[in-house]
Amino acid sequence: LDCVNFHLNVTCPFRNFKDRVQCNRNTWITQDILNSRERLKFYHSIYVKTNNEEFKTFFRNFKQNYRKEIWNAKARDVEIKLKQSDNFLKSAWNIIINNTKQQVFSKFSSLTLKTENEVIDDPFKVASEFNNFFSTVAEPDCSLNLDSPREEPLTRPVSSMVLSPESEVEVARIMQDLRRKKSTDINGMSVWLLKRCFKQILGSLTKFVNPYFMQ
């Protein structure tokens, strides 16, 4: 018997399988909601066939109450998770991600683009159209090719603690070296806006800045 058991264990060994318990993400689903769901399906099968206005009104009210029940169940589930959490911000962020990522994926799963000649639904062609558009829609902001740059001769002191006056080209180069930020100062001016319209205000800005350098 031992010999038979030995050969049996060698040829047909036992294998251990780990039982993976699938985690139910929708912890807000209760038995009452499941029962209401089945009733809603049953009522809907009658709703599509009947002409009874009273039943149709009943079905609409029942469907509306069912949605309210789901909304309240989700709200209670979120409240319980936040109360039992050790890290409130992390739990809140996880709840937001779990409730929005499926909607985002379903919303942008079929992206189409309408051009002048056709409607494009191929993702590769759509990406190519966007790439071509944004690569040619605007001229580089860092271009210093001014229409009429005035490199006026400036009198610079040989040895002085006073700052030297600057030309328009130098002021333009300094403006383009600034980091592009949309945050505004007390006057409502931002670096982003300054860099967008620097050609129009360059001459006035240079005349405004230089007297302060020479004081």
Pairing of strands 119-120, 113-114: antiparallel
Residue 66 has pLDDT above 90, yes or no: yes
CA dihedral 40, 45, 51, 53 (to 10 degrees): 0
Residue-averaged pLDDT of the chain: 74
Look at the pTM and tell me if it is higher than 0.85. no
pLDDT in tens, 3-58: 677 667 777 766 665 555 454 557 788 889 999 999 999 999 999 998 999 999 99
Grade residue 192 by pLDDT with cuts at 50, 70 and 90.
confident
- At 120 the three-state DSSP class reads strand
Residue 105 has pLDDT above 70, yes or no: no
CB 106 within 8 A of CB 113: no
**What's the rounded mean pLDDT across residues 187-212?**
77
pLDDT in tens, 79-88: 888 888 888 8
CA distance 192 to 189: 9
All residues at 6 or more sequence positions from 214 whose CB lies less than 8 Å from its CB, including other chains = 162, 163, 165
The token duo for 5 is 């058991």
All residues at 6 or more sequence positions from 73 whose CB lies less than 8 Å from its CB, including other chains = 28, 29, 30, 33
**What's the rounded mean pLDDT across residues 97-122?**
67
What pLDDT does residue 81 have? 86
Residue 107 has pLDDT above 60, yes or no: no
Q: Which residues pair with 184 in a beta bridge?
A: 190
What pLDDT does residue 78 have? 87
Tell which wins on pLDDT, 192 or 152: 192
What pLDDT does residue 40 have? 93
Q: What are phi and psi of 178, to 5 degrees?
A: -70, 150
What pLDDT does residue 144 have? 47
What pLDDT does residue 152 have? 54
What pLDDT does residue 142 have? 46
Q: Taking the alpha carbons of 43, 49, 53, 56 in that order, is the dihedral positive or negative?
A: positive
CB 133 within 8 A of CB 181: no
pLDDT in tens, 145-177: 555 545 555 555 555 555 667 777 887 887 778
